[in-house]
Each structure stands twice: as C-alpha cells, then as structure tokens.
Copies of this chain bind each other. A is one copy, B any other.
C-alpha cells in the first residue's frame, strides 16, 4: 500500500519540526564544548544564563502543541501502517520525547540547565583542588533537581523506580535491576581474575605504565591514534578535533564530532585509552547513515541532551 499524500505531508511537517530541534541542540552542544575547553573562566555566569535560556527555548520547541497534533494525526491515520519502519520509528521516538518533555515544568528544565553549568564548573575546580567539600553543595542542588524530574518521568514511563526513569533516557528499557545483575557478575569475574593475579608466583611487570611521558609527546600519540582509527582531525575535510578537559568526553553531530582527553605526565595509558574510547563514540556518530540526519533515528541523544552526550 502506498503512503497517502496527506499522511506523508503530516509526517514531513513533523520531521521539519524535529529537524529544527536537532539543529538547535547541536548548537547547544557547541556551547557546552566551549565551556569545557576554551571559555575564559570568568565567563561561567554568562554561560549558565545562556544555557538556561537555550534550554527554555529548546523545551518550548519540543512541547510545541503542533507536534502533539501531528503525532496524533499520523498515528490515528487509516494508512499509518503504510509508513516505512524507519518512518514509524521516527514517529515513535518523537512521541516518546514529546510525552516526557510535556510533563516536565519549564522552571525545572531551566533551573536544571543553569545548575548543571554551575555544578560542572565547580566540579572542575574541586577536582583540580582535590576538595570534595567544595563540590558537595552544588552537587546536592543538582541531585534534588534531577530527583524531581525522575519522579515525574517515573509516572510517565511507568518505571518501578525514579532511577529507572533516568536510565531509560540513555538506554531505553534498561532497568536498574538488569544493571545490578550485570555489574554483580562483572564484579565476581573481576575479583576472581585479580585473585589469580595476586596468588601467581610471578607478578606482572607494570612499571612501564607509570613511565613519565611528556605531554607534548602524548599529544603526538593522540594524533597518531586518530590517524590509525581514521578519525580526521588535521586535513581539509576534517570532521573532528581533540582537546583537553578535566574529564574526557565526546560531543557533536555527524560532520562535527569532537573528543577530549586529559593528559597525565605519569600516566600515559590514561589518555591513550580515553582517546581510543572517545574516538569510538565519535566514529559511531560520524558514520551514522546520512539518510537519518536531523531525525530521531539519526540521534542517540537528541531529545534529552544538554549537549554533553557521553563520557
């Protein structure tokens, strides 16, 4: 059965709205990247206001009642089944996000964005100063805000606990029960390996891991790793870059996906594994099928993202 013209036109209208949301969020992710890598430290208060305002605008784009009307029209259309699997998935993912976001009060979204920016900034300073008590009050504020959102989302998603509602954002349908099971198995397995190592007659030689490697050399190693993995950070058509942050992360979208690392002179392996790990994320994003661009299927992170999508 061919897709009817009316249905397809509603679908296209919906995807046009989603496209703007995706582009908007990709812009926010640049601001987040800048905050972590390049922003002069004094800029933090202005940045937290920018992030709060953009979150408000992004939230309003997402809860636009026209999106609700289009979803309703498409899903109740007699020819709905004639949509392709990919189209149906896009509608499903948009509906999921719409249903969730419309339940979150705007003040909570805005306040969370503002607090996230401040908490991240204080965390950076506290980590560098190895001083948890500096960080604790700001973490608590953010925790309270996330708890409020989790309690609301628990109702919407019908999850057994608020935490399950948050896990579902990053890994749909994953539960804390399943995670506990996986982690317990992993723990048992790891402990048994460690015990074997400890009781072995000959200890592994690990001193080379602590060999001092100047940071400039480590930067060159990162560049080589990028070459090796095909993550272009240096040529005319480069779609990536490597910068330095307190904690490594990846952010970006299709043609502009950036990773970060952290160099320790006495722990070169830390950056090597970070760079490889983050490039894994980045190459995944860069190699998403181009036909999914600006659509929910083409973004693992598009709806709940505050810019930073993984670390």
Contact = CB atoms under 8 A, between A and B. Distances in A.
A46 B254 contact: yes
Interface stretch (A33-41, A89-97, A135-143, A146-154): A33-41
A47 B236 CA distance: 16
A239 B42 contact: yes
Contact of A57 (B31, B57, B253, B258): B57
Contacts of A20: 53
Contacts of A104: none
Nearest to A51: B27
A106 interface: no
Interface string A297-310: 00000000000000
Interface string A42-74: 110111011001100100000000000000000
Given A40-B233, A41-B238, A256 B27 contact: no
Interface string A232-246: 110011111100000
A254 B49 CA distance: 13
As for how many copies of this chain the complex holds, the number is 2
A232 B43 CA distance: 12
A30 interface: yes
B27 A53 contact: yes
A215 interface: no
A217 to B, nearest CB: 18
B53 A23 contact: yes
A236 B53 CA distance: 26
Interface of A: 20, 23-24, 26-27, 30-31, 34, 38-43, 45-47, 49-50, 53-54, 57, 232-233, 236-241, 252-256, 258
B43 A256 contact: yes
Nearest to A20: B53
A38 B38 contact: yes
Nearest to A125: B236
A27 B54 contact: yes
Given A40-B239, A41-B239, 7 more contacts: A20-B53, A24-B54, A30-B30, A39-B256, A41-B237, A43-B256, A46-B254
14 contacts: A20-B53, A23-B53, A24-B53, A24-B54, A26-B46, A27-B50, A27-B54, A38-B38, A40-B256, A40-B258, A41-B237, A41-B238, A42-B239, A46-B254
Contacts of A39: 256
Contacts of A252: 43
A279 to B, nearest CB: 14
Contacts of A254: 46
Given A24-B53, A50-B23, A30 B34 contact: yes
A21 B75 CA distance: 37
A238 B42 contact: yes
Nearest to A47: B256
A54 to B, nearest CB: 6
A45 B236 CA distance: 14
Nearest to A253: B46
